[in-house]
Amino acid sequence: MNITFRQLEVFEAVARLLSYTRASKELHLSQPAVSMQIKQLEENTGLPLFEQLGRKIYLTEAGREMHHYCRSISQQLEEAEEVLGQLKGLKTGRLEVTVATTANAFATQMLAMFSKQHEGVTISLDVTNRERLLHQLAENEKDIAIMGRPPEDAELVTEVFADNPLVVVAAPDHPLVKEQSIPLYMLQDQTFVVREQGSGTRTAMQRFFSEHEMTITSSMEMNENEAIKQSVQAGMGLGVVSIHTIELELETKRLTILNVENFPIMRHWYLVHRKDKRLSPIAQAFCQFVLSKANEFVKVDYML
Ligand code: PGA
């Protein structure tokens, strides 16, 4: 059989509409051109595909079979077109990611690796606190966010991908470092350096202490984990930070995790996007990447 796609396309329209006139209108062809394509197709198949009874045309048995295969061929073609389109989308395009300040270190490494694998893609990374990040999602400014658990919201799709333990850190010469096990109430006599309002870490810390009916004293408020770590090292107080922000300080022994009762506060890291956002192929690929590579980038084997 020497069938062409054009013949199949014309046949599909005539078979669906059961009218040469309507098919020719839909395809923007003259009626003789439509009849010609059908005639050639019938010659190619060696069987009549339509029969005319009065003014109406009907599919013959061969026509019905042909129509069935014709539909599955066009579905396959559409699928092929979509897959190829997605492949094109993975080679170019733009990805807008926003990450919580606290996730900055591992998220930047993840993005660096992802970007090496997708060189034609432009990636924009915004690092900000939880409150600002929720605002960006609400305003549909970003494709994907990496953050702590977002509020229960029917408008957001969330997927957890790693633990995020919050620990109490102190300078290595802090008197509490010598203690093997520190009862929670002892923190009441301590001074803390805390994150700014709007930080997820701060909210989690406040919630934790209020659940344990404790008020803690803070000496200073800072909007960066870096600043908190510096101040704690300088002996200005204790800090409650995500373990993912202190990898280097633990290695170089510039900070120590205190063994406080009921700690760590166990939070989690989430991939978040708006439900109504049609994720581009590259954004979908990034989500897959984060979910499958999280273990490599987000360290979990700390001694707590
Ligand atoms: P943040 O991040 O403390 O830097 O705001 C954590 C979170 O989103 O929960």
Rounded Cα–Cα distance for residues 55 and 53 (Å): 6
Rounded Cα–Cα distance for residues 70 and 86 (Å): 24
Rounded Cα–Cα distance for residues 11 and 43 (Å): 13
Q: Which of 106, 130, 132 to mutate to test the pocket of ligand 1 (most atoms within 8 A of CB)?
A: 130
With tokens 């590579």, the residue in question is 293
Q: Check whether 301 has a pLDDT greater than 90.
A: no
Share of the chain above pLDDT 70, in %: 98
Q: Which of 132, 133, 201 to mutate to test the pocket of ligand 1 (most atoms within 8 A of CB)?
A: 201
Pairing label, strands 265-274, 156-170: antiparallel
Q: How far is the CA of 240 from the centre of ligand 1 (A)?
A: 12
**Total-model pTM:** 0.72
Q: Give whole-number Cα distances, 177 to 165, 172, 193, 245, in Å.
A: 19, 7, 17, 19
pLDDT at 296: 86
Question: pLDDT of 56-109, one tens digit each?
Answer: 999 999 999 999 999 889 888 888 887 787 777 777 788 999 999 999 989 999
Q: Check whether 302 has a pLDDT greater than 80.
A: no
Q: Give whole-number Cα distances, 35 to 20, 29, 63, 272, in Å.
A: 7, 10, 15, 54
Mean pLDDT, rounded, for 194-201: 94
Mean pLDDT, rounded, for 181-190: 94
Q: Check whether 300 has a pLDDT greater than 80.
A: no
Q: From the alpha carbon of 148, which atom of ligand 1 is closest?
A: 9
Rounded Cα–Cα distance for residues 228 and 221 (Å): 8
Query: Which class for 229: exposed (0-12), middle (13-18), buried (19 or more C-beta within 10 A)?
Result: buried
Mean pLDDT, rounded, for 20-28: 95
Q: Check whether 153 has a pLDDT greater than 90.
A: no
Average pLDDT of the chain, as a whole number:
92
On whether the CB atoms of residues 286 and 95 are closer than 8 A, the answer is yes
Rounded Cα–Cα distance for residues 239 and 283 (Å): 35
Q: Assign 2 a pLDDT band (cuts: 50, 70, 90).
A: confident
What is the distance of C-alpha 127 from the center of its chain?
A: 16
Q: Give whole-number Cα distances, 256 to 68, 179, 206, 233, 270, in Å.
A: 70, 12, 21, 9, 27
Q: Assign 136 a pLDDT band (cuts: 50, 70, 90).
A: very high
Q: Check whether 303 has a pLDDT greater than 60.
A: no
Q: Check whether 134 has a pLDDT greater than 90.
A: yes
Closest CA to 216 of 208, 226, 227: 208
Query: Which class for 154: exposed (0-12), middle (13-18), buried (19 or more C-beta within 10 A)?
Result: exposed
pLDDT at 88: 75
Q: How far is the CA of 203 from the centre of ligand 1 (A)?
A: 9
CA angle 95, 270, 150 (to 5 degrees): 105
Q: Which of 99, 102, 271 to mutate to test the pocket of ligand 1 (most atoms within 8 A of CB)?
A: 102
pLDDT at 304: 55
Rounded Cα–Cα distance for residues 107 and 126 (Å): 11
